[in-house]
Amino acid sequence: MTAREAAFKVLGGYRRGGALPGVALGGMSKELTPPDAALAMRIVNGVLQNAALIDYYISSFSSIKLKKIEPRVLDILRLSIYQLAFMTKIPHSAAVDEGVKLASVNANPRAAGFVNALLRKAADASGKMSLPQVAADSAAQILSIKYSHPEWLVKEFIASFGEDSAEALLRANNADSLPVTAQVNTLLASAEDVIRELENDGVTARRHEWLDACVEMSATGDMTRLSSFKKGHIYIQDAAARLAVHAASPEPGMFVIDGCAAPGGKSFAAAVMMKNTGKIAAFDLTQDKAGRISDGANRLKLEIVSAEIRDAAAPAADHAGKADIVIADVPCSGFGVIRKKPEIRYKTEQSVSGLPDIQKSLLQSLSAYVKPGGVLLYSTCSLLERENEAVTGWFVGCNDDFRKEEFELPHIGRITSGECTLLPHIHGTDGFYICKMRRDAP
Query: Phi and psi for 20 in degrees, rounded to 5?
Result: -65, 125
pLDDT > 90? residue 21? no
Q: What percentage of residues in the chain have a pLDDT greater than 70?
A: 100
pLDDT > 80? residue 19? no
Mean pLDDT score of the chain: 94
Among all residues, which ones are annotated catalytic? Answer: 381
What lies within 8 Å, CB to CB, of 110 at 6+ separation is none
What mean pLDDT comes out for the span 112-129? 93
What mean pLDDT comes out for the span 1-30? 84
CATH superfamily of 181-236: Sun protein; domain 3 (3.30.70.1170)
Report which of residues 205 and 23 the model is more confident about: 205
pLDDT band at 38 (very low <50, low <70, confident <90, very high): confident
pLDDT band at 27 (very low <50, low <70, confident <90, very high): confident
Q: Give 288-313 pLDDT, tens digit per residue.
A: 999 999 999 999 999 999 999 999 98
Domain covering 3-127, topology: N-utilizing Substance Protein B Homolog; Chain A (1.10.940)
Q: Please report the pLDDT score of residue 400 as a whole number.
A: 95
Question: Would the pTM of this model clear 0.85, i.e. be above it?
Answer: yes
- Where exactly are the structural domains of the chain? 3-127, 139-173, 181-236, 240-439
pLDDT band at 32 (very low <50, low <70, confident <90, very high): confident
Q: Please report the pLDDT score of residue 103 as a whole number.
A: 94
Cβ–Cβ < 8 Å for 246, 270: no
Query: Phi and psi for 330 in degrees, rounded to 5?
Result: -85, 160
Q: Please report the pLDDT score of residue 224 as a whole number.
A: 86
pLDDT > 90? residue 223? no
What lies within 8 Å, CB to CB, of 87 at 6+ separation is 42, 43, 46, 95
Q: How far apart are the first and last CA of the chain?
A: 67
Helix pair 34-49, 3-17: axis angle to 10 deg: 40
pLDDT > 80? residue 30? no
pLDDT band at 17 (very low <50, low <70, confident <90, very high): confident
Q: Which CATH architecture has domain 240-439?
A: 3-Layer(aba) Sandwich (3.40)
Q: Please report the pLDDT score of residue 398 as a whole number.
A: 96
Q: Give 123-153 pLDDT, tens digit per residue.
A: 999 988 889 999 998 999 999 999 999 999 9
pLDDT > 80? residue 25? no
pLDDT band at 343 (very low <50, low <70, confident <90, very high): very high
